[in-house]
């Protein structure tokens, strides 16, 4: 039954669209033949033609199709000219049929699925005719076959009629008659991808990207020696190389891994093409037609590389989540069966599932489903009788793929910090141990892929399954993160060690970095920027920042006093007072000083009219969704004590009638340590739209929160992107002044905490390095689990040889500044440097245990 000697080579749309690619195809086919193989070529329509055929049918429905038809004719004529052949009788015949289809559609103004399939099929039929005649002209003995005589669509249970015609599947059991037919024919055979015939004799389609599947069906049917997929990238990569140039070529994969990668969103292989190859053990190779010499990806029955290595980070966009909640589902028999029966009735196929006692969440992939409004409304309506339903989307599903993926769970700690400031709607870990998937807001998808790839793939130089990166293959400079400038404290080391000669601990701030950050904030081009001095209220720091032209944001009478003490001549309109739960006198004093005042509770205006009547105020709005590096720093949403809910603003007219204050601006701050530019854009849009209802509102203050990477290796916030995104919003609201009030960004990296090692202690295998100060100076690790890089400044160039716990002298187990840190051999008296400690360091210090926190020095 087997037909040794046949190979199936599939070429995609780009591969069959130029003369140079066709020259390569001829070469490749010849080379395979020279190895004793016979070659069946399966290929797609010329690139762009399938879209043009769609457009033609649409245009015909509107009655005017001539231009669309001419574009299709012209594209084929052009390729024929490039290939040095005529358009030919067969292509002309297909074009005539296409015109007939268009004419009949134009008459009835609608297109049935069967007609659509017939129209779309002409793309492949025409392209393969051109291809066959080109190869023949090159001297190859080639026969053209109509694939509809080789592939029969199967009747599928549960599939609706539309998908039976437009996304059919075919039987692929070995077919001795077909083998015999091909054996009796020419050395080279050529046929179409994407199309097949159903039992009624009608043309059907295999769905977008279905040519890979056609090739796999044919390979299985003729028991091919191997299946080669020739496309425009030389294999599968660890991420999409177009957006992640550091993506590595995957040299070899198991069928299961390739299946997961294809299903998780990589576009190189169609997910359906793997099963037929796998079932008949046919090795599957992926190559690039443009670069045929690159080794490509080999997919087969063995796992290569180390277990637990992430092979690929993939993203799928446009996902919709359906969350079904029902307290009654706990221990209830048949709830899942009933719920999934609804999906079946609606013809929807489910991608990921996650369940708890009272809820089930599933994701729907737009590639597998027509997720139009009507379908989703129908689904929700039917599910409502069973449970509470919520649709969430659009979402991105970000998947980590590799065999034994559970083995990497412990390494995900770092990676998952990236999710700290955003919602993960669902996490699902595949039962086959091949993928872990996170569902997040759609606009988060690419950034997560980028960062997860950096952490879990790029950082692994050697793994048998990982080949060269895209950048290495194509000689471009890798667009990876620009090389980081070493932190200022590397060059300042002698000075810092000198300072520590006479001290046990100190916060040291560097002027230059503060100035640079202030210049960066000003370069954002907003109308005003205020420094949120709660991040660092050191007098010298305040003077530096005021001198750089920024205003100062204060939240307490103490901060107001400190700022006017540091800079007595500071104009009152450069100071903003944004307290939370402040006492009546605090507002009165602030108005007396003439500074801007922000109010975040309408009740105070209602109850203290004597304070607010006649005053200009800004209102702090709660946009409803908080963000930031830790729950403690997310300052929006109903559980948060900050801000006025948007809905409450409706009460303002009545309120202002009693207590006539003037609303001159709106403010929102959603949280701290945010890296997602969309956050400020969303805040700006919300405030600008609300401002339109307040005749006196001239200012919108979009808060602070600009994130600073807590590790040397992490990427910084892209300020140029932030500036561009805000500029766009501003251009739509030219009458409003835009304000920003960052704290951390200005001072975090300018400061370090230096502390002497007092003693080393070993307990079992654990090594504790004890410092002269701890959580009494820097509370962030204990309070938020925050990470600060730690180095032994006394031995900066000595390689790390041990993993230690860096602890302070406070009587609390939480007094740990760094868990599991790699340090060189360290001795009492060494100076350790705790990085990125300029923000929320000394200001949050205490003298707990009556231990004075570290003092401050500006250099």
Write out the residues near ligand LLP by the rule CB under 6 A: 532, 534-535, 578, 633, 635, 669, 672-673, 703-706, 741-745, 780, 840
Contact call for residues 215 and 229 (beta carbons, < 8 A):
yes
Nearest to 121 by CA among 57, 199, 205: 205
Shortest spacing between CB 780 and ligand LLP, in angstroms: 5
Nearer to ligand LLP, 43 or 780 (CB): 780
The H or E element that residue 609 is part of is helix 609-612
Which tokens hold the place of 231? 């496309």
Looking up tokens 């998947």, which residue turns up?
A: 399
The smaller minimum CB distance to ligand LLP, of residues 148 and 669, is found at 669
> Per residue in 144-177, is it b (16+ CB within 10 Å) or e — as a string?
bbebbebbbbeeeeebeeebbbbbbbbebeebee
Q: Shortest distance, CB of residue 589 to ligand LLP, whole angstroms? A: 19
State the angle between helix axes of 66-83 and 89-108 in degrees (0 to 180), rounded to the nearest 10. 170
Q: Which residues pair with 756 in a beta bridge?
A: 831
Q: How far is the CB of 844 from ligand LLP (least distance, A)?
A: 6
Nearer to ligand LLP, 623 or 743 (CB): 743
Considering the complex, what minimum distance in angstroms separates the CB of residue 549 from ligand LLP? 18
Number of C-beta neighbours around residue 551 at 10 A: 21
Residue 240: both structure tokens together: 């999409």
Partner residues linked to 118 by β-bridges: none
User: Residue 453 or residue 669: which is nearer to ligand LLP going by CB?
Assistant: 669
Nearer to ligand LLP (CB atom), residue 27 or residue 819: 819
How far apart CA 700 and CA 619 sit, in angstroms, is 10
Q: Torsion-angle region of residue 139: left (phi > 0), alpha (psi -120 to 50) or beta? A: left
Residue 196 main-chain phi, psi, to 5 deg? -160, -175
Whole-number Å distance between alpha carbons of 784 and 630: 6
Burial class (CB in 10 A: 0-12, 13-18, 19+), 448: buried
Minimum distance from residue 840 beta carbon to ligand LLP (Å) = 3
Nearest distance, CB of residue 814 and ligand LLP, angstroms: 15
Q: Residues 6 or more apart from 730 whose CB is under 8 A from it?
A: 684, 736, 738
Rounded to a whole number of angstroms, the minimum distance from the CB of residue 532 to ligand LLP is 4
Whose Cβ is closer to ligand LLP: residue 193's or residue 743's?
Answer: 743
Neighbours of 429 (CB within 10 A): 16
250 beta partners: 466
Residue 172 token pair: 């692929």
Is 811 in the active site? Answer: yes
Nearer to ligand LLP, 72 or 529 (CB): 529
d(C-alpha 97, C-alpha 102), whole Å: 9
Q: Tell which phi-psi region holds residue 594, choosing left (phi > 0), alpha (psi between -120 and 50) or beta.
A: left
Nearer to ligand LLP, 40 or 554 (CB): 554
Distance of closest approach, residue 776 Cβ to ligand LLP, in angstroms? 15
Q: What distance in Å separates the CA atoms of residue 43 and residue 73, rounded to the nearest whole number?
A: 19
Q: Minimum Å distance from CB 703 to ligand LLP?
A: 5
Who's near 186: CB < 8 A, 6+ residues apart?
141, 142, 143
* Residue 458 DSSP label: I
Give the other-Cβ count within 10 Å of 404's Cβ. Answer: 13
The 3 state secondary structure assigned to 664-699 is EEEECCCECCECCHHHHHHHHHHHHHHHCCCCCCCE
Task: Give the nearer residue to ligand LLP in terms of CB position, either 213 or 635.
Answer: 635
The span from the CA of 227 to the CA of 236, in Å, is 15
Name which of 419 and 840 has its Cβ closer to ligand LLP. Answer: 840
Catalytic position from the list 273, 314, 554, 811: 811
**Residue 163 Cβ, how far from ligand LLP at the closest point, in Å?**
50
Residue with Cβ nearer ligand LLP (300 or 743): 743
Which residue, 626, 601, 672, is CA-closest to 844? Answer: 672
Q: Who's near 839: CB < 8 A, 6+ residues apart?
A: 535, 536, 708, 743, 744, 746, 747, 748, 751
Output the smallest distance, CB 645 to ligand LLP, in A. Answer: 16
Q: What is the three-state SS of 108-123?
A: HCCCCHHHHHHHHHHH
CB-nearer residue toward ligand LLP: 17 or 422: 422
DSSP-derived letter for residue 45 is P
Distances (CA, A) of 240 to 18, 211, 305, 514, 537: 24, 21, 20, 38, 45
From its phi and psi, is residue 858 left (phi > 0), alpha (psi between -120 and 50) or beta?
beta
Considering the complex, what minimum distance in angstroms separates the CB of residue 10 from ligand LLP? 52
DSSP states of 600-646: --HHHHHH-HHHHTT-EEEEEEE-S---SSSGGGB--STTSSSSEEG
> Minimum distance from CB of 668 to ligand LLP (Å)?
9
Q: Is the dihedral of CA 231, 232, 238, 239 positive or negative?
A: negative
Which is nearer to ligand LLP, 500 or 532 (by Cβ)? Answer: 532
Could you list the active site residues? 811
């Amino acid at each position: 039954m087997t037909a040794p000697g046949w190979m199936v080579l599939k070429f995609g749309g780009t591969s069959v669209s130029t003369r140079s690619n066709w020259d390569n195809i001829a070469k490749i086919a010849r080379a395979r033949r020279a190895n004793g193989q016979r070659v069946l070529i399966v290929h797609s329509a010329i690139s762009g033609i399938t879209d043009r055929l769609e457009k033609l049918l649409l245009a015909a429905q509107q009655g005017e199709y001539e231009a669309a038809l001419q574009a299709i004719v012209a594209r084929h004529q052009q390729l024929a000219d490039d290939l040095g052949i005529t358009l030919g009788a067969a292509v002309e015949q297909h074009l005539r049929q296409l015109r007939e289809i268009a004419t009949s559609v134009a008459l009835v103004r609608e297109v049935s699925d069967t007609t659509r399939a017939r129209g779309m099929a002409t793309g492949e039929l025409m392209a393969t005719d051109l291809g066959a005649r080109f190869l023949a002209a090159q001297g190859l003995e080639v026969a053209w076959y109509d694939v509809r005589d080789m592939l029969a669509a199967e009747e599928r249970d549960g599939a609706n009629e539309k998908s039976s015609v437009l996304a059919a599947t075919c039987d692929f059991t070995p077919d001795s008659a077909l083998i015999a037919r091909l054996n009796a024919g020419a050395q080279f055979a050529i046929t179409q991808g994407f199309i097949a015939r159903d039992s009624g004799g009608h043309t059907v389609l295999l769905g977008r990207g279905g040519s890979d599947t056609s090739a796999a069906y044919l390979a299985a049917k003729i028991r091919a020696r191997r299946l080669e997929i020739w496309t425009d990238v030389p294999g599968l990569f660890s991420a999409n190389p177009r957006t992640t140039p550091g993506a590595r070529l995957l040299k070899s994969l198991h069928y299961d891994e390739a299946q997961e990668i294809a299903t998780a969103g990589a576009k190189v292989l169609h997910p359906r093409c793997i099963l037929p190859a796998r079932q008949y053990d046919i090795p599957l190779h992926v190559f690039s037609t443009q670069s045929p010499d690159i080794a490509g990806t080999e997919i087969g029955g063995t796992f290569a590389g180390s277990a637990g290595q992430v092979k690929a980070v993939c993203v799928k966009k446009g996902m919709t989540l359906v969350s079904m909640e029902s307290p009654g589902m706990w221990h209830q028999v048949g709830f899942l069966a009933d719920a999934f029966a609804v999906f079946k009735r609606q013809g929807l196929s489910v991608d990921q599932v996650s369940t708890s006692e009272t809820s089930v969440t599933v994701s729907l992939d737009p590639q597998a489903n027509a997720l139009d409004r009507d379908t989703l409304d129908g689904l929700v309506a039917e599910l409502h009788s069973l449970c509470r339903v919520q649709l969430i989307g659009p979402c991105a599903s970000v998947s980590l793929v590799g065999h034994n993926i559970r083995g990497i769970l412990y390494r995900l700690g770092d990676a998952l910090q990236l999710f700290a400031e955003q919602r993960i709607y669902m996490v699902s870990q595949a039962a086959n141990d091949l993928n872990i998937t996170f569902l997040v807001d759609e606009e988060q998808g690419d950034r997560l892929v980028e960062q997860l790839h950096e952490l879990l793939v790029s950082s692994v130089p050697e793994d048998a399954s990982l080949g060269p990166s895209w950048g290495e293959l194509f000689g471009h400079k890798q667009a990876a993160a620009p090389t980081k400038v070493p932190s200022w404290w590397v060059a300042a080391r002698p000075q810092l060690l000198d300072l520590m000669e006479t001290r046990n601990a100190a916060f040291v701030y560097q002027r230059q970095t503060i100035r640079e950050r202030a210049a960066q904030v000003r370069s954002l081009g907003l109308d005003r920027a205020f420094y949120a001095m709660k991040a660092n209220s050191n007098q010298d720091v305040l003077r530096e920042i005021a001198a750089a032209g920024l205003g100062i944001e204060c939240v307490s009478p103490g901060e107001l006093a400190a700022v006017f003490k540091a800079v007595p001549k500071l104009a009152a309109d450069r100071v903003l007072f944004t307290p939370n739960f402040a006492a009546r006198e605090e507002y009165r004093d602030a108005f007396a000083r003439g500074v801007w005042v922000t109010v975040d509770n309408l009740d105070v205006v209602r109850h203290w009219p004597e304070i607010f009547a006649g005053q200009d105020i800004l209102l702090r709005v709660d946009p409803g969704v908080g963000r930031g590096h830790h729950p403690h720093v997310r300052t929006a949403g109903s559980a948060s004590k900050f801000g006025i809910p948007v809905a409450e603003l409706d009460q303002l007219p009545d309120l202002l009638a009693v207590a006539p204050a003037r609303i001159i601006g709106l403010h929102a701050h959603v949280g701290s340590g945010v890296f997602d530019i969309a956050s400020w854009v969303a805040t700006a849009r919300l405030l600008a739209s609300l401002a339109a209802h307040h005749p006196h509102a001239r200012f919108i203050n979009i808060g602070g929160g600009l994130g600073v990477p807590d590790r040397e290796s992490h990427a910084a916030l892209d300020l140029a992107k932030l500036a561009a995104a805000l500029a766009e919003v501003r251009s739509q609201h030219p009458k409003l002044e835009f304000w920003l009030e960052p704290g951390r960004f200005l001072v975090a990296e300018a400061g370090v905490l230096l502390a002497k090692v007092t003693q080393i202690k070993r307990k079992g295998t654990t090594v504790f390095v004890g410092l002269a100060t701890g959580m009494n100076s820097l509370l962030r690790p204990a309070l938020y689990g925050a990470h600060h890089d730690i180095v032994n400044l006394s031995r900066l160039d000595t390689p790390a040889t041990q993993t230690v716990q860096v602890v302070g002298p406070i009587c609390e187990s939480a007094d740990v500044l760094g868990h599991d840190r790699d340090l060189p051999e360290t001795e009492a008296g060494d100076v350790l440097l705790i990085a990125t400690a300029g923000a929320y360091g000394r200001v949050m210090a205490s003298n707990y245990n009556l231990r004075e926190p570290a003092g401050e020095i500006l250099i």
